[in-house]
Amino acid sequence: MLTSRNLLSQTIRKKRHKKPKKPKTKTRNKKQEPIYKNQEDPIEKEELEEDTEGFNLKTSAPSNTHGVQPLGNLYLNLGSINSRNTGLGNLQILTDELVLDILGFVDGSQLGVLATVSKSFYVFTNHEPLWRNLVLDKLNGEFLFNGSWKSTYIGGIYPSFDCSGCSCLKVRDFYSDYLFQSWLCASLEMKPEWLERDNIVRKKGISVEEFVMNFEEPNKPVLLEGCIDNWAALQKWDKDYLVKVCSDMKFAAGPVEMRLQGYFRYSDQVMEERPLYLFDPKFVEKVPVLGSEYEVPVYFREDLFSVLGNERPDYRWIIIGPAGSGSSFHIDPNSTSAWNAVVKGSKKWVLFPPDVIPPGVHPSPDGAEVACPVSIIEWFMNFYGATKNWKKRPIECICKAGEVIFVPNGWWHLVINLEESIAITQNYVSRRNLLNVLHFLKRPNAGELVSGTQDRVNLHDKFENAIECTFPGTINQLVQKAEEKKAQEKNHPSGTQ
């Protein structure tokens, strides 16, 4: 989570008050004004600019709805008392996270009642993620997003109630890093320095043999250009077309399934820390025409999981999301490799090799769980800068429409959409990765690690037997080749990487 010090150092100020820089000192003037003023005197977004060490707000960023300020501002207003504490009474000893966890057990009407208890309760009970959870739990995917999750909930549960004219209270002297950072992360633009590094190898028109020798065999990422120029999807797949061909079909978006028309209504309006990400593994089965409008690039057509037929794990997805949506650090399932093709929009990628755990990421010893920052923006704010001085720096790039990135097995990667984006991704197994996958599927805790199939425990035996039946002797040949390579590296260590 962002600290008070971080929030204070990332300041935003008015253009009309811009002054020449002065040398920084460790002392602060006791009469210094708060960096984020109360909403009684709002800072107009068009007057905001980035400080030299700060950030820019998105042009469409809403004002901080209830006037919440970072905790550090309390120390600049020595006469102020945190209304957060006075309004909570004896509950003030609880952390903000715990207060919100408790409020997560009550329903919408109870949140409305609690909002009348005090200004502090009003702020907590209007925390948007609480209402988001209620909408997704009570309405599933059958909702029409109405600017905010609270308004969406009220419109869905009490359709006769018109809350279009309702206004939000601005609470003075409410200080909370936790609540403030949720708004901040949702409202910030990506800093230019986060987008500058582009050190991935880019290739166009290479042969399959070159791809295998230079990238798949050594397990290195590469960005491929020009290999999907013949896709009909590149010309056809916009919002209107997808809504038309998908009609009333529902697609997986987070914990719910939604029609595309409803999802696009949401994605056009939403600005939150973790937007819902449409990520559906059955899109071809649901809308076969979509499967006919793209084809697997020539480099990835050896897909050994196909020997399992309908019993293979999930392997292909359509991905749609607004700017700011994406996937935090993870390793692709079942030790597979993957390719990701951008049809519309652009994506920022950050990749770390298998032997380098990204900063701020904490996998469990068995690899079954991964703890990482709440949002992607928070990772960039708190951890990205540290990677500049690492000996093994991450591989980074911006993948644009018409480009394909190869993600080797075992590589940690983070992806964030820089604009509204549509993409196709597939995970696959080739001979270069077959032994790794079989080893992964045979791990003692395979029941927890294996994903995309209901028969997790038996997947290894089914896959191994199917490979032996379809490609007799292949596994033994690969084992022998791997042993020879290992012996060669042992005898010539200077030639290894």
Q: Residue by residue, what is the 3-state secondary structure of the chain?
A: CCCHHHHHHCCEEEHHHCCCCCCCCCCCCCCCCCCCCCCCCCCCHHHEEECCCCCCECCCCCCCCCCCECHHHHHHCCCCCCHHHHHHHHHHHCCHHHHHHHHCCCCHHHHHHHCCCCHHHHHHHCCHHHHHHHHHHHCCCCCCCCCCHHHHHHHHHCCCCCCCCCCCCCCCCCECHHHHHHHHHHHECCCHHHHHCCCCCEEECCCHHHHHHHHHCCCCCEEEECCCCCCCHHHHCCHHHHHHHHCCCEEEECCEEEEHHHHHHHHHHCCCCCCCCEEECCHHHHCHHHHCCCCCCHHHCCCHHHHHHHHCCCCEEEEEECCCCEEEEECCHHHCEEEEEEEECEEEEEEECCCCCCCCCEECCCCCCEECCCCHHHHHHHCHHHHHHCCCCCEEEEEECCEEEEECCCCEEEEEECCCEEEEEEEECCCCCHHHHHHHHCCCCHHHHCCCCCCCCCHHHHHHHHHHHHCCCHHHHHHHHHHHHHHHHHHCHHHCC
- The more confidently predicted of residues 360 and 15 is 360
Model pLDDT, residue 46: 40
Rounded distance between C-alpha atoms, residue 449 and residue 441, angstroms: 8
5: pLDDT confidence band, cut at 50, 70 and 90? Answer: very low
**Residue 437 belongs to a domain:** no
Q: By C-alpha distance, which of 213, 278, 276, 224 is closest to 397?
A: 224
Has residue 42 got a pLDDT over 60? no
Q: Are residues 305 and 383 in the same domain?
A: yes
Q: Are residues 204 and 250 in the same domain?
A: yes
Q: Are residues 424 and 276 in the same domain?
A: yes
**What does the mean pLDDT of the chain come to?**
86
Model pLDDT, residue 486: 85
Q: Is 494 exposed, middle or buried (0-12, 13-18, 19+ CB in 10 A)?
A: exposed
**Residue 494 belongs to a domain:** no
Share of the chain above pLDDT 90, in %: 69
Q: Are residues 349 and 218 in the same domain?
A: yes
Q: Are residues 177 and 211 in the same domain?
A: no
Q: Are residues 207 and 179 in the same domain?
A: no
Least confident of 41-45, 318-322, 380-384, 424-428: 41-45
Domain closes at, from 137, 153, 187? 187
Contacts of 349 (CB under 8 A, 6+ apart): 200, 395, 396, 397, 398, 399, 405, 413, 414, 415
Q: By C-alpha distance, which of 241, 395, 252, 265 is closest to 317?
A: 252
Average pLDDT over residues 125-144: 94
Model pLDDT, residue 165: 63
Has residue 225 got a pLDDT over 90? yes
Rounded distance between C-alpha atoms, residue 48 and residue 42, angstroms: 11
Has residue 367 got a pLDDT over 60? yes
- The more confidently predicted of residues 477 and 496 is 477
Domain count, the chain: 2
Model pLDDT, residue 4: 41
Model pLDDT, residue 61: 65
Model pLDDT, residue 44: 37
Contacts of 34 (CB under 8 A, 6+ apart): 69, 73, 76, 77
Average pLDDT over residues 449-474: 92
Q: Are residues 152 and 220 in the same domain?
A: no
Compute and round to an integer the Cα radius of gyration of the chain: 26
Rounded distance between C-alpha atoms, residue 120 and residue 83, angstroms: 6
**Residue 31 belongs to a domain:** no
Asked whether 319 and 276 are in contact (CB, 8 A), the reply is no
Q: What is the CATH number of the domain that holds 95?
A: 1.20.1280.50
Q: Are residues 310 and 421 in the same domain?
A: yes
Model pLDDT, residue 54: 65
Q: Are residues 183 and 200 in the same domain?
A: no
Q: By C-alpha distance, which of 283, 227, 294, 233 is closest to 258?
A: 283
Domain closes at, from 133, 168, 187? 187
Model pLDDT, residue 470: 96
Domain closes at, from 187, 203, 228? 187
Share of the chain above pLDDT 70, in %: 86
> Which span out of 25-34, 120-129, 487-496 was modeled with the highest average pLDDT?
120-129
Q: Are residues 110 and 247 in the same domain?
A: no
Asked whether 334 and 437 are in contact (CB, 8 A), the reply is yes
Average pLDDT over residues 209-232: 97
Has residue 97 got a pLDDT over 90? yes
**Residue 302 belongs to a domain:** yes
What pTM does this model have? 0.85
- The more confidently predicted of residues 235 and 57 is 235
Query: What digits encode the pLDDT tens for the residues 280-299?
Result: 999 999 999 999 999 999 99
**Residue 460 belongs to a domain:** no
56: pLDDT confidence band, cut at 50, 70 and 90? Answer: confident
Q: Are residues 296 and 378 in the same domain?
A: yes
**Residue 443 belongs to a domain:** no
Q: Are residues 177 and 220 in the same domain?
A: no
Our measurement of the distance from residue 392's CA atom to the centroid of its chain's CA atoms, rounded to an integer in Å, reads 23
Expressed as residue numbers, the domain containing 286 is 193-430
Q: What is the CATH number of the domain that holds 397?
A: 2.60.120.650
Q: Which two tokens stand for residue 410?
A: 């075992």
**Residue 228 belongs to a domain:** yes
Contacts of 272 (CB under 8 A, 6+ apart): 128, 129, 132, 186
**Residue 233 belongs to a domain:** yes
Query: What digits encode the pLDDT tens for the residues 413-441?
Result: 999 999 999 999 999 999 999 999 999 99
Q: Which two tokens stand for residue 276?
A: 């819902």
